Amino acid sequence: MTKAKHRNVRRELLSRYGRVVSWHASLSARADRPRGRPPVRESRASIQFEGEFTESVGGVTRFLIQVCPVDKPDIGNVAVPNVGAFISVKPELQGVVDMTEGEFQRLLALSASGRVAWCFVAFTVPFRRSALIVSINFSTRSPDDEE
């Protein structure tokens, strides 16, 4: 008996430009004393971008992308190297992306100046309500201005 050929659709990439309509930043800190361990203090920062893609993905154009700083962002442990993922595709595409602290600070400064207007995202074809983000770019210029 021969095995059925399995087509790897996750390698096919889609790309979309998105108009950023709003953003929100948050910072949280907490302390805890896990049982049998020394006390720990943790903090977490994030920026969430909301907007609309110029072209739909499976009938959906609205996106929410959360960007968080991490010490050492990796490229994922799957066949497709990635910087993040869309963890849900309906009712809107909800993405999470890790960046270095330096990249995060530059993006926060750009956002705080009110100049982030567009983003460009390249990602795998959604499969089982998720997709891997292989590239993301935030810009002050529209796609029409970049030619």
Residue 119 belongs to some domain of the structure: yes
In this structure, is residue 35 part of a structural domain? Answer: no
Does 31 map to a domain? Answer: no
Domains identified in the chain, total number: 1
Q: Does 32 reside within a domain?
A: no
Class of residue 89 by CB neighbours under 10 A (exposed 0-12, middle 13-18, buried 19+): buried
What percent of the chain clears pLDDT 70, i.e. is strictly above it? 91
Position 21 pLDDT exceeds 70: yes
- Other Cβ atoms less than 10 A from the Cβ of 50: the count is 15
**pLDDT band per the 50, 70, 90 thresholds, residue 2:** low
Whether 71 is in a domain gets the answer yes
Question: Looking at the chain, how many residues does it have?
Answer: 147
Where do we find the tokens 């995060």?
104
For residue 36, tell me if it sits in a domain: no
Pick from 30-39, 41-50, 57-66, 94-103: least confident: 30-39
Residue 19 in domain: yes
Q: Cα(78)–Cα(45) distance, rounded to whole angstroms?
A: 26
What pLDDT was estimated at residue 74? Answer: 82
| Model confidence at 73: pLDDT above 70 | yes
- The answer to whether position 123 is within a domain reads yes
- Does the pLDDT of residue 10 top 50, yes or no? no
Helix and strand element counts for the chain (H, E): 1, 7
Q: Each residue of 116-136: b (16+ CB within 10 Å) or e? A: bbbbebbbbebeeebbbbbeb
* pLDDT at 145 > cutoff 90: no
Mean pLDDT (the chain) is: 89
With a cut of 60, say whether residue 96 has pLDDT above it: yes
User: What Rg do the C-alpha atoms of the chain give, in angstroms?
Assistant: 18
Query: What pLDDT is stored for residue 60 in this prediction?
Result: 94
Q: How far is the C-alpha of 47 from the C-alpha of 92, rounded, in Å?
A: 17
The predicted pLDDT at position 93 comes to: 95
Owning domain of residue 126 = 15-26+41-142
What is the band of 9 on the pLDDT scale with cuts at 50, 70, 90?
very low
Q: What is the pTM of this model?
A: 0.84
